[in-house]
Structure 1
Amino acid sequence: MKTTVLIAHEYGQPEVLNLESHSLPTLASGMARIQVKAAGINPIDARRMTGEFKHAQLPQTFGTEFAGVIVELADANTTWKIGDEVLGSGGSFTHATVIDVPLENLIRKPQNIEWNIAGSLAGAAQTAMTILDEMGPAQSLLVHGGSGGVGSILIQLAIEKGMNVVATASEKNQQHLQALGATPVVYGEGLIQRLHSIHPEKFDASIDMSGNEDATQASLATVKSGGFMGSIAGRKLSSSQIRPVWVKRNINNLQHVVDGVADGRFDWSVSREYPFENAQEAYTDVLTGHTKGKSVLVFQ
C-alpha cells in the first residue's frame, strides 16, 4: 500500500514542504493501518519546519494527531476491526494519507463528532490534561495565550475542576475567552497592571503557551511564591522558575476530553480547514499565530 506524506528535506518556510508518495512496509505487530480523514496542525509542527525546534533529523515528517478509518490490522484482534472509525495520537507522523499507529494510541471516534474535530483532539487534549496533572490542586490559574487549541480546552478543564481562570489573548479573541468561561485580558504592554486590576490576589498557577518575555514577567509578578509556573512553548526562557511542560500521552485523559466534546460539556473550535494538498498554505497561516481553536488538514 502507498501513502502520500508531507515531508521536508531542509529547514525553512512552507515552500520546503512537499507531498511525496511512499510504499508502506509490512504492518508491524501491535499496529493498525489508518486511512486518515483529518489531522490537526500544531504550532510545534511549523516550528519544526523552520528549524526553530529541531526534534528529528532531516528529512522530517509532521503531525502528532489524527482521525481516520482502520484499513489493516497486523494481528487477530477482538477490540478493533477493519472499518472502525478511530482517533488518537500518531506513531511517527500523521500528515499523510495512510499511517501506521500503535493500537494503544487509539480510541473510538464518537459518531456525533465530525472528522475535522476528531482529527484535532488528541494533541491539545492530552497537553492540557498533562498541564493540570503536573500543576496539582489550584484555585486560580493564569493562562497566557488562551485562545489556541491547548488554551481553549485547558480553560474548560480548569473550570470543570472549580478554578477561577484568567486568560490572555489578542483583542479579537477576547469574546472567545469569555465564552469559554475565562476572564479575558488583552496581552501586550501594561499586561501586569491589567492583571493586578482584574485579579488583585496572587494566582496559584500560570501556564504560558507563547514563550515570550511579557508572559514570563507577568507570571513572575502575579503568581504566589511557590506556585506552579509552566510553559509549553518549548523555548528557552529568561527565568528558570518557569518549568517546561511536555505532553504525556494518556489514553484515559484523551477519552475524558473526547467524551466531554461528544456530550456537549466542552466546546471545541476548529477555526481553519485546509485540503491536504494545500498544506503549505496551512503552515503559512499557523506561523502567523493569533489562532482561535485548531487548524486542521482534511483528506478526501
Structure 2
Amino acid sequence: MKAVQFHEFGGPDVLKIVDLPDPHPAHGQVRIRVHAVGISASDPKIRSGALSFGAPLPQGTGRDVAGVVDELGEGVTDVKVGDRVFGISDDGYGAADYALLSIYAVIPVSLGFVDAAGLPVALETATRGIDQLNVTDGTTLFINGASGGIGSTAIQLAVARGARVIGAASAANQNYLALLGAEPVVYGDGMVDRVRKIAPDGVDVALDVVGNGILPELIELTGTAQNVITLADFDGSKKYGVHFSNGFEDGHGFHSLATIGALIEAGKFWLPIDKTFPFTGIAEAHRVSETGRVRGRLAVIVN
C-alpha cells in the first residue's frame, strides 16, 4: 500500500509517500480502505519531534480517518464489510491506503468521508474537556481558542448540554463563533474586561485549547485554578496549578463517536472542513495546520 512516512523529525518536507505491506487486522480491529484523513494539531507536532510518544522512527502520520471496512479482525461483530466508519488509526498510519482501527463508529448518514475524517480527535478532546469541567445545563463556559477544530466542537457540545458559552477568537472569526452558538470576544489586551462586560459575575469554568499563556486570566475569570483546564499549556499548568488534560492519563472521550450522530442529524452539530488537500499535498496540509489560522479542520483526500 501507499502510505505517508517520515524517517527523521523535522519540517513538512520530511513526509514521504512510500510503499509498505498491506496491514491486516488483529483481534478487535477492523481494516478500512481510507478515503480521507483529518489533520489534527498534534500531527505536525509529532512529525517535528515536539510531541513524542516514544515510538521509534520511521513513523507514519494521520490519526483521524474515515473509510470503508474491508476486513474484520476476530471478535468484531458491531460492523460488517462495506460499512462506512470513522475513527482513530491504531498505529498512526492513517494517511495510507489502508488503516487499522479498534476505536471507530459508523459514519452518520448525512456525512461524507471528508467531513467524518475531521471529527475523531477534535470530538474526543472536546468531550473530555467539558466532561472534566462538568459542563451541564446552566454552566457558563469560557473557551480560549474557540474557532479551531476542538474549540468549534466544544462550543456545540456545551450548547447542546444547555450551557452558556463565551468564546475567544480573532476579530475575523467573531461571526463564526456566533453561528456555532457562542458569545464571541476578541483575543488580546483587555479580553478579561470584554468578558466581564457580558458576564459581570465572571464565568463558572474555562477551557484553554491553544496554550497561549492566558491561564492567569482564566483563573481570574473563574475565581480558582480548579475551575480551569488546559489542553495545550503543560508548563503553565504546573506553574499555576491548573489541570492539564491528557487522554492517556485522564481517561478518554471516545464514547462521543457513537453518540454524535444524533446531534448531527438534528442539525445541532457541524464541524466545517476549512480546506482539503490531495494525498500528494499532505506536506502542505501540515504547513497550513502549523499557521494556527484554521477555522474548523483540514483534511487530506486519500482514495
TM-score of the superposition, structure 1-length normalised?
Answer: 0.92
Listed as ranges, the matches of 1:47-196 within 5 Å are 47-55=45-53, 56-75=55-74, 78-93=77-92, 94-102=94-102, 105-137=103-135, 139-196=139-196
In the alignment, which of 23, 28, 31 is matched to residue 30 of structure 1? 28
Q: 1:137 to 1:107 in 2, by over 3 A?
A: closer
Matching of residue 263 in structure 1 with residue 262 in structure 2 = no
Match of 1:240? 240
Match of 1:223? 222
Please state whether the residue corresponding to 1:291 is helix, strand or coil.
coil
In the alignment, which of 11, 15, 20 is matched to residue 13 of structure 1? 11
**Deviation for aligned residue 1:74:** 2.9
Q: 1:164 to 1:270 in 2, by over 3 A?
A: same
Is 219-228 or 154-163 further displaced after alignment?
Answer: 219-228
Q: 1:172 to 1:159 in 2, by over 3 A?
A: same
**Deviation for aligned residue 1:115:** 1.1
**Deviation for aligned residue 1:234:** 5.3
- Matching residue's letter, 1:222: L
Q: For 1:137 and 1:117, locate their aligned partners in 2 and report how far apart those are by CA, in whole Å.
A: 26
Listed as ranges, the matches of 1:267-282 within 5 Å are 267-282=270-285
Please state whether the residue corresponding to 1:136 is helix, strand or coil.
coil
Unaligned runs of 5+ in 2: none
Q: For 1:299 and 1:50, locate their aligned partners in 2 and report how far apart those are by CA, in whole Å.
A: 22
- Matching residue's letter, 2:80: K
Match of 1:284? 287
Q: For 1:17 and 1:78, locate their aligned partners in 2 and report how far apart those are by CA, in whole Å.
A: 36
Please state whether the residue corresponding to 2:215 is helix, strand or coil.
helix
Q: For 2:152 and 2:235, locate their aligned partners in 1 and report how far apart those are by CA, in whole Å.
A: 24
**Deviation for aligned residue 1:76:** 6.9
Q: For 1:137 and 1:187, locate their aligned partners in 2 and report how far apart those are by CA, in whole Å.
A: 23
**Deviation for aligned residue 1:291:** 1.2
Q: 1:251 to 1:168 in 2, by over 3 A?
A: closer
Is 252-261 or 42-51 further displaced after alignment?
Answer: 252-261
Aligned-residue CA RMSD (Å): 1.8
Please state whether the residue corresponding to 1:27 is helix, strand or coil.
coil
Q: For 2:246 and 2:257, locate their aligned partners in 1 and report how far apart those are by CA, in whole Å.
A: 15
Q: 1:95 to 1:298 in 2, by over 3 A?
A: same
**Deviation for aligned residue 1:182:** 0.7
**Deviation for aligned residue 1:34:** 0.8
Please state whether the residue corresponding to 2:42 is helix, strand or coil.
helix
Please state whether the residue corresponding to 2:195 is helix, strand or coil.
helix
- Matching residue's letter, 1:29: H
Q: For 1:151 and 1:281, locate their aligned partners in 2 and report how far apart those are by CA, in whole Å.
A: 23
User: Residue by residue, what CA displacement relative to the aligned partner does 1:201-250 show, whole Å, maximum 9, x if unpaired?
Assistant: 1211111111111x212212211236421111154216332211123444
**Matched-pair identity in %:** 29
Q: 1:209 to 1:179 in 2, by over 3 A?
A: same
